[in-house]
């Protein structure tokens, strides 16, 4: 079973490396959206510090949304998804493999970029650390929830917009607790409670999302 998960991850990572434009586009989108705010809002450090958690988290959500429509679309178009559905192991496991690969390609770069971008907002060392940690815990949940939406809108015309409408509301709890963790650190409350809830959502997202996703994919294949 682990072999098949690894095979899916390996294949998807190799494909992502051959198609770097997709990863880079999402990363640049994240960088640019975050960088526009200090330019637009003005240079007062007090105001920027207040905005930072929300801006970085919203930008992370939108950057994740960019990569979601292609999560299953390519495999669906070229018939690989059929082969996955007919493989002698649960489709959910292969979806889990795809989720892990998606996070490594679309989520992890955001986590690594966040502390650098946070400096623009005059965040303290603690704030930067918690911001990075909250993204590290929260982005797997984004991939998991997003996968369900991507599978449900697979093969639907204008699926991209529908996907945003479907998935972004479901991202709200992750956004609240992710940005809340950084806020709590900045106001001196401590981020533990927020991070724990975020962790619970990430575990739920990663371990429960593959099964509804697999069910939705089977419906899309019919």
Total residue length of the chain: 222
d(CA 220, CA 77): 12
Q: Which residues bind other proteins (CB under 8 A)?
A: 3-4, 7-8, 10-11, 14-15, 18-19, 74, 77-80, 82-90, 94, 221-222
d(CA 160, CA 164): 6
From the number of C-beta atoms within 10 Å of its C-beta (0-12, 13-18, 19+), residue 221 rates as middle
In the complex, the smallest distance separating the C-beta of residue 74 from other proteins, rounded to whole angstroms, is: 8
Nearest CA to 135 among 159, 89, 103, 162? Answer: 103
Residue whose CB is less far from other proteins, 19 or 193 = 19
Residue whose CB is less far from other proteins, 87 or 129 = 87
Residue whose CB is less far from other proteins, 7 or 165 = 7
Cα–Cα distances in angstroms (integers) from residue 189 to residues 36, 78, 122, 126, in the given order: 29, 51, 19, 12
In the complex, the smallest distance separating the C-beta of residue 11 from other proteins, rounded to whole angstroms, is: 5
Whether the Cβ atoms of residue 166 and residue 153 lie closer than 8 Å to each other: yes
CB atoms within 10 A of CB 147: 28
In the complex, the smallest distance separating the C-beta of residue 46 from other proteins, rounded to whole angstroms, is: 48
In the complex, the smallest distance separating the C-beta of residue 89 from other proteins, rounded to whole angstroms, is: 6
In the complex, the smallest distance separating the C-beta of residue 215 from other proteins, rounded to whole angstroms, is: 13
% helix / strand / coil in the chain, to the nearest 5? 85, 0, 15
Residue whose CB is less far from other proteins, 87 or 108 = 87
Residue whose CB is less far from other proteins, 46 or 222 = 222
In the complex, the smallest distance separating the C-beta of residue 2 from other proteins, rounded to whole angstroms, is: 11
Residue whose CB is less far from other proteins, 16 or 31 = 16
Whether the Cβ atoms of residue 94 and residue 8 lie closer than 8 Å to each other: yes
């Amino acid at each position: 079973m682990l072999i098949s998960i690894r095979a899916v991850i390996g294949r998807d990572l190799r494909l992502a490396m051959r198609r770097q434009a997709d990863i880079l586009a999402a990363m640049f989108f994240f960088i640019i959206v975050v960088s526009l705010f200090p330019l637009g809002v003005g240079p007062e450090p007090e105001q920027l510090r207040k905005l930072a958690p929300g801006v970085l988290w919203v930008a992370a959500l939108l950057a994740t949304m960019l990569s979601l429509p292609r999560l299953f679309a390519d495999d669906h178009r070229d018939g690989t998804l059929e082969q996955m559905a007919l493989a002698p192991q649960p489709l959910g496991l292969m979806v889990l493999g795809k989720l892990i690969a998606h996070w490594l390609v679309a989520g992890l770069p955001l986590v690594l970029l966040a502390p650098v971008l946070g400096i623009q907002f005059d965040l303290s060392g603690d704030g930067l650390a918690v911001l990075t940690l909250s993204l590290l815990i929260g982005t797997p949940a984004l991939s998991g929830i997003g996968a369900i939406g991507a599978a449900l809108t697979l093969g639907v015309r204008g699926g991209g917009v529908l996907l945003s409408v479907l998935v972004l509301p479901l991202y709200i709890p992750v956004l609240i607790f992710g940005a809340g963790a950084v806020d709590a650190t900045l106001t001196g409350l401590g981020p533990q409670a927020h991070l724990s809830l975020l962790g619970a959502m990430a575990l739920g997202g990663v371990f429960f999302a593959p099964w509804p996703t697999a069910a939705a994919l089977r419906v899309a294949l019919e």
